[in-house]
Amino acid sequence: MLVHPKPFLSARMQPRREKGVVLMISLIIMVVMTIGAVSLMRTVDTTNLVAGNLAFQQAATRSAEAGIEDAIRNVLETGAATSLWNDDLTRGYVASTPASGTPTDWDAYWRTTLNPNPIASPSTPRSCADRVCSLPTDASGNRVSYHVQRLCLTTGDPLSDPTGCASAERKSPLEGNPLNPNAPKYKKLSQYYYRITVRVTGPRNTVSFVQAIVTK
């Protein structure tokens, strides 16, 4: 009887057992790459959002210039100087600035004191309510409102009443001394300070405040 010997297999020729180590490493790498891609997308979205908000804020600041120019033309350059001695709420103007007129929170002061009843749709050229005048919404979607304050403690004629106005002197159109030595010297003209506060509301709930100090 012939017995056929079993074939001998060396250790190198024996089949190895699959343990799935390569698959596990591949899955971990895929997870890490996915997390990195998501983080990159969120970073890009945040950057675009910040850039968009800055663009809206800059547009609101540029729109505020229209409010400053309208306040100068409508309030400071209209009528005689005596018209600025007293309040004129129909033009968004007050002739005094009490302590409450320099608040720490301008937005709250604006909404509660200066303009608690804003006009929904201002008409051309402007609409005034409370102590504020508003311009129609511009092409950028910004709504401009302004308020003008004379930097005085009280109303009245600053030359005769103790109004406590912030003022300075400027030269008269006739400079120098008169030729006649007995004639009085040319007087310097007094000028007073006015603060224009502009509030701009725009897209994405953008709110911007711009102030300008002018003299007259």
Tell me the sheet residues that pair with 214: 194
Residue 4 included in any domain: no
- Does residue 148 contact residue 71 with C-beta atoms inside 8 Å? yes
74-97 average pLDDT score: 91
| Range from 6-10, 20-24, 77-81, 190-194 carrying the lowest mean pLDDT | 6-10
Tell me the pLDDT band of 112, cut-offs 50, 70 and 90: very high
3-state secondary structure of 108: helix
Nearest to 203 by CA among 49, 39, 13, 22: 49
In a domain, 113, yes or no: yes
The answer to whether position 28 is within a domain reads: yes
Residues whose CB is less than 8 angstroms from the CB of residue 20 and which lie 6 or more positions away in sequence, other chains included: none
The pairing of strands 167-170 and 189-202 is antiparallel
Does residue 205 sit within a domain? yes
In-domain check, residue 7: no
Q: Say which residue, 150 or 24, is predicted with more confidence.
A: 150
Radius of gyration of the CA atoms of the chain, in A:
37
Rounded to whole angstroms, the Cα distance separating 108 from 105 reads 6
Report the pLDDT value the prediction gives residue 143, as an integer from 0 to 100: 92
What's the confidence (pLDDT) of residue 5? 58
Q: Average of pLDDT values for 174-179?
A: 56
Number of domains in the chain: 1
| Confidence band for 59, pLDDT divided at 50, 70 and 90 | confident
Within a domain: 52: yes
- Kindly report which listed range (48-57, 59-68, 83-92, 134-143) carries the lowest average pLDDT score: 48-57
Q: Whole-angstrom Cα distance, residue 28 to residue 30? A: 5
Query: Does residue 126 carry a pLDDT above 90?
Result: yes
Whole-model pTM: value is 0.70
* Residue-wise burial string across 47-65, b where 16 or more C-beta atoms lie within 10 A, e elsewhere: eeeeeeeeebbebbbebbe
> Which among 37-41, 120-124, 165-169, 171-175 has the top mean pLDDT?
120-124
Q: For residues 139 and 14, which has the higher predicted lDDT (pLDDT)?
A: 139
Range 12-24 average pLDDT: 60
Which domain does 41 fall in, by range?
22-173+187-215
What is the tens place of the pLDDT at every residue in 66-78? 999 999 999 999 8
Lowest mean pLDDT among 78-82, 173-177, 204-208: 173-177
* pLDDT attached to residue 55: 61
Beta carbons of 145 and 132 less than 8 angstroms apart: yes
At 90, list the tokens.
């129909």
Highest mean pLDDT among 41-55, 152-166, 193-207: 193-207
Q: How far apart are the first and last CA of the chain?
A: 132
Is residue 16 pLDDT above 80, yes or no?
no
